[in-house]
Structure 1
Amino acid sequence: MTALSLRWAARCVAVGLALLCSACAGLSQAQRDQAAGIAAAARSQVIDCQQANACALDSPLHELGARALAESAPQSPRHYALILDQGQDALLARLNLLRSARHSIDLQTYIFDKDDSARLVLEELLAAARRGVRVRVLIDQLSAIADLQILAALAGSHQNFSIRIYNPTFGKAKLNYFDYAGSVLCCFRRFNQRMHTKLLLVDERIGITGGRNYQDDYYDWDAEYNFRDRDVLIAGPEAGAMAGNFQAFWDARRSTPVERLNDVGRKLLSEGVPAMPPLDYLRPARVAEMSREASDPEVVQARLVEPALPVGAVKYVADLPQKHRRESNGDDAPAAPELEMLIGSASQELLLQTPYLVLSRQAQELFRQMRKRQPPPAVIVSTNSLAATDNPVVYSMSFKYKRRHLREFGFQIYEYKPFPEDAPVDYAALMPEGPPIPVPDSTRSRRFGPSGSLGPSGSTGPSGSLGAAGETTRRLQRTESRPSFLSSGAASEPLPLKRAGVRMGLHAKSMVIDNRIAVIGTHNFDPRSETYNTEAAVIVDDAAFAQALAASIRRDIAPENSWVIAPRAKPPVFSGLDYSLGKVSESLPLFDLWPWRYATSYQFQPGPDCPLPLGPRDPDFHRCYVAVGDFPEVSVGPKWLYTRVLTAFGAGLVPIL
């Protein structure tokens, strides 16, 4: 037996032992009851405020909810809607709403870290509970707070604070290497069924949903990689639908009080309720400034209230936890059918933004039918480049089917750059020492960390990288990606680039139909969102709001922010043969090894004869655009090798990517 075979055999034995150990390591029902009792007994019952409004902050943002309800009638609802494009505005809105809550806060998320932004939100949640607000937090287990001390402390923190974990594998909050491997082998489908729904609901009158989780890279606070993301704030009667959906998840069988989990319960049994770890903000001055602004009514009015638009028809469409049952029916998972219906209703233009351009068979057929219309609606897609994406494995599938996307579906595809020049961010805060700079090949391999990028100071070490002020950054796990077969980490990470700097990756999930209907939510428009994850979206039928969202997406696809994907210029000979062989190779589930692809990335070159950007079907396109390669900005061995291997052999992974 070869050494490789021995290693695989040992790994399989280890996985089998892990399954046995995980099955046997759980607490008994009596022990879980005892742990829950310890947590309950420790919870403070002290209320810091005796006022009817729980000493809530007077907030013009919170008042939008009251105003919308006062202006609404049963047959003519009134809402206010706000697009949250800037990460710091999204955090500002959350903090302000938490401080202004009078009765209840419900928070539902896929990722909750323990870095600066997450800990700041957590402190506000606890402060709200202490002043008399009912606080409920529901986190998907796969990306829940990975600190048993924090979870055990929260379990016994206050009578008004409750935290539950959704779909905990092996009844645990924190999984190790063997837990991941065992869960894939024993219960693959259940392990992949995740609660991807994200919602913050305050007083059942104002809610926020969209792509953002609770981690620094969703709020432009990370020193290496930040998401270009988007949320929508809705104030008005549709918050009632948000409340009903949250309640369904809170009551679901898979939502487990954190004190009843095996690892948290064991800590409570052995140590009692621990103290919360001391606050250790990486950049305390930045945290203090954000905290100050969150209580400043003039800042909130200018940045959050004045940009909000009055709208009428708003619909919150969200999957129910019953989607994860084997006997689930279509009524349990309305998000995908509703979005597909809206896509199919487009008559003139569909503007689609998704970080992962991987389509289900049903979606493919939908776009084929749209393409057959006379005239077909324009379909404009904003998505990630390989240089920008946090998940190269998923990108490989998008790359594989570019010919189909362009030729069969008629897509106009724009891929986001890792260093966009005009993104909705505070560049001074994001890159305080200037724009990205080239890194020589001789130093790139030595200086780049696993994520492939540097902090603004341009130096990394084993524990992280240096931030703007020279302080050490914490290593973040990019938990939005899926775990690999035998790893507790992300399946893939951003690839190394040619330049150092704080890179960005697209994470927004949005859609505009005919410049009239707008959609912002958590759905990635991919097979995983349709089949495995629970998702949510806000649909706004309002022309002014739709046009504002369209303007935001069009800014992302502008030449300074995105490359355009277009067919290569036809070679003088054998162009038909090259196309046919590429098409045949693409159709193979394995061994898609044809090296010459139908399309590549282009950059606009303005000049006297090219004053404005052109569409890829314009006859002057190749005169005004220059090809920049299949994987611009990426530095990884032969540029194409990694993604080309995945393209050739990874088609079977599409349903779970």
Structure 2
Amino acid sequence: MNSKYINHVCTLCLNLCILCMLNACQSLPSLQGRSVETHIAADIPSSLAYTNASLITQHPGLSGLYPLDDGHEAFAARMALIRAAEHSLDVQYYIWRNDTSGQLLFHELVLAAQRGVQVRLLLDDNNTVGLDKVLTALNQEPNIQIRLFNPFMHRHWRALSYVTDFARLNRRMHNKSITADNQITILGGRNIGDEYFDMGKGTLFVDLDILAIGPIVNQVSNNFDRYWNSASAYDFSRIVHRRNKLQASMPVFKRRSFNYLRADSYGNAYNRDNFINRLLDGSLNYQWAHLILVSDNPDKALPKGKNKSNTSQPTDSLLVAPDTAQSPVIKYEKASLTLNALAASVVEPQKDLLVITPYFVPTQTGLEYLFKLREEGVRVRILTNSLAATDVPAVHSGYVHYRTPLLKEGVEIYELKNQGFLKGPRDRAFTGNSESSLHAKTFTIDGQQLYIGSLNFDPRSARLNTEMGVVIQSPEMAQFMNQAINEALPDVTYQVKLSAQGKLEWLKTNDKNQTRVYHHEPDTSIWQRIWVKMLSWLPLESLL
């Protein structure tokens, strides 16, 4: 019996070794011969160009933005953008689910291509598991080009690739944007998937992005070109070689993950919002402001020895719209270029800093910066996920170390309940109801500036993943966000405080203004808390 068991173990180990060796032999293809492409000019005639021209002329030097804080409207906006495109669509995402929303938007890209629109689709390969057949079908369309960012050569045993190529595959493209005709763009925190559009069962994400026109669009297009032509972007056909029965014209690619009731709900939301007509007749209620695009250089995703950004000037990690004269500086020597670029794009907080982030692991550098702000009398508030609401307990285990030191310095900490919602920058609610998890990444400074983008406040965003977002110089939007959060906090969050004995406690206020005090993380099981405690003992922070 023992000898049979030993034989089985040895066979398994041998098979794993063989798989690892085979995986190691699969090197990335050469980029030689790959075409270098750029976006279309903004002055090419189109319906969107005609509509936007008069609006932009009335607001010289400013960009118009429309906040998308409702999940259904965020989906409708993307569908309308695709349907309104006449010349080009540049699409860049970290996650694209093969669920109802993902298949509907894939279908819209196909229809756009069939009417002559040139579609460039750039996907981070970490989240394309199960999509090879669908992407193969799309890639066969004459007007659709697909590239994979930091691809996995072994398509079936992806985990083994980490054994032989961890330094590269651990770095991901976290950017999210879609741009039509170099005239209008959507960017922010949302990926493509039902949970990001307030649809379906289970956990739904509280998220935020913006639709924008004006000078910011060309900056987003330039940024897309940098990634499309980067050393980490590979033509799909060079990575995936397979025959396929799927056809791009199929309305549904995978019936098991397509819900017809949800599809009807998306259709109803699209018709109700009448978004495409508002895009084309210029009736969207744009808010006009100076926007500054902050984005990583795609070289950040290369392994350290090949990372050109390590030796380049800090301007490589910052794109600044032409309507601003600010230039980047190195303000914090121990911080990444990403955070230095962001710091150079905003004013230093004098009165108030509100940070909203799903994952908060500030590191020692961030801790020292927040301590410095508190010493200068700045009010600092952090809103992040509670253990009950987070979708990544491992990141929560990195966050727990920082709560007590921050509270001792007077930083206010609020954690979203798993059934919370938030008011957005317009007079409506951020998506989030039955089971909610915070996914929006935003902050406001002194009620004057607002950031919206993909950047989490954790080491992964700072050092490993590429990120992008916009700094919005709009007191109106920043102050509305502050007011909305102030009104919502008592209802949708637990406030974390220190007791007289220096122990953590969570305060929950109900609709009758009655407060309940918890002495452990609320709405969680003892096993959840034990698991996070065990994870907190591991040296994981640099990976979080």
TM-score (normalised: structure 2): 0.82
Question: Matched residues in 2 for 1:402 and 1:567: separation?
Answer: 9
Secondary structure of 1:515 counterpart: coil
Choose 346-355 or 324-333, whichever is displaced more.
324-333
Change (3 A) 1:641 1:250: same
Listed as ranges, the matches of 1:45-444 within 5 Å are 65-73=52-60, 77-144=61-128, 146-157=130-141, 159-170=142-153, 172=154, 174-176=155-157, 179-180=158-159, 182-261=160-239, 264-265=240-241, 267-268=242-243, 279=252, 280=255, 282-291=258-267, 293-294=269-270, 298=274, 308-325=285-302, 326-328=307-309, 329=312, 330-334=314-318, 335-341=338-344, 345-373=348-376, 376-408=377-409, 410-420=410-420
Q: Is the 8 A contact 2:73 2:273 kept in 1?
A: no
Question: Matched residues in 2 for 1:347 and 1:28: separation?
Answer: 51
Question: Matched residues in 1 for 2:408 and 2:473: separation?
Answer: 31
Question: Matched residues in 1 for 2:182 and 2:53: separation?
Answer: 11
Change (3 A) 1:12 1:550: farther
Shift of 1:20: 1.1
Q: Is the 8 A contact 1:194 1:532 kept in 2?
A: yes
Shift of 1:307: 6.8
Question: Matched residues in 1 for 2:80 and 2:197: separation?
Answer: 15
Listed as ranges, the matches of 1:625-636 within 5 Å are 625-636=515-526
Listed as ranges, the matches of 1:442-591 within 5 Å are 502-554=434-486, 557-568=488-499, 570=500, 575=501
The AA in structure 1 aligned to 2:498 is: P
Q: Is the 8 A contact 1:225 1:504 kept in 2?
A: yes
The AA in structure 1 aligned to 2:462 is: E
Secondary structure of 2:535 counterpart: helix
Shift of 1:323: 1.9
Change (3 A) 1:365 1:287: same
Q: Is the 8 A contact 2:175 2:454 kept in 1?
A: yes
Residue 333 of structure 2 aligns with which residue? none
Shift of 1:322: 1.8
Change (3 A) 1:7 1:315: farther
Question: Matched residues in 2 for 1:107 and 1:64: separation?
Answer: 22
Q: Is the 8 A contact 1:83 1:230 kept in 2?
A: yes
Q: Is the 8 A contact 1:136 1:162 kept in 2?
A: yes
Q: Is the 8 A contact 1:509 1:524 kept in 2?
A: yes
Secondary structure of 1:162 counterpart: strand
Change (3 A) 1:5 1:315: farther
The AA in structure 2 aligned to 1:123 is: H
Question: Matched residues in 1 for 2:482 and 2:279: separation?
Answer: 20
Secondary structure of 2:540 counterpart: helix
Q: Is the 8 A contact 1:421 1:561 kept in 2?
A: yes
The AA in structure 1 aligned to 2:108 is: E
Secondary structure of 1:529 counterpart: helix
The AA in structure 2 aligned to 1:166 is: F
Q: Is the 8 A contact 2:359 2:385 kept in 1?
A: yes
Change (3 A) 1:240 1:539: same
Shift of 1:343: 7.1
Change (3 A) 1:161 1:8: same
User: Displaced runs of 4+ in structure 1, greater than 4 A?
Assistant: 1-15, 25-29, 271-278, 295-307, 341-344, 421-427
TM-score (normalised: structure 1): 0.69
* C-alpha RMSD of matched pairs (Å): 3.5
Question: Matched residues in 1 for 2:364 and 2:185: separation?
Answer: 33
Change (3 A) 1:625 1:9: farther
Question: Matched residues in 2 for 1:194 and 1:418: separation?
Answer: 28
The AA in structure 2 aligned to 1:79 is: S
Question: Matched residues in 1 for 2:3 and 2:399: separation?
Answer: 37
Q: Is the 8 A contact 1:79 1:311 kept in 2?
A: yes
Shift of 1:188: 1.9
Q: Is the 8 A contact 2:339 2:462 kept in 1?
A: yes
Secondary structure of 2:77 counterpart: helix
Q: Is the 8 A contact 1:113 1:145 kept in 2?
A: no
Secondary structure of 2:65 counterpart: strand
The AA in structure 2 aligned to 1:109 is: Y
Question: Matched residues in 2 for 1:309 and 1:278: separation?
Answer: 33
Q: Which has the larger radius of gyration?
A: 1
Question: Matched residues in 2 for 1:521 and 1:28: separation?
Answer: 32
Question: Matched residues in 1 for 2:13 and 2:378: separation?
Answer: 52
Q: Is the 8 A contact 1:114 1:145 kept in 2?
A: no
Shift of 1:120: 0.8
Q: Is the 8 A contact 1:78 1:310 kept in 2?
A: no
Change (3 A) 1:293 1:641: closer
User: May I ask how many residue pairs the two structures share in their alignment?
Assistant: 501
Q: Structure 1: which 5+ runs fail to align?
A: 37-51, 432-501, 580-597, 612-623
Choose 518-527 or 301-310, whichever is displaced more.
301-310
The AA in structure 1 aligned to 2:75 is: L
Q: Is the 8 A contact 1:211 1:231 kept in 2?
A: yes
Change (3 A) 1:81 1:274: closer
Question: Matched residues in 2 for 1:418 and 1:296: separation?
Answer: 29
Change (3 A) 1:282 1:357: same
The AA in structure 2 aligned to 1:414 is: Y
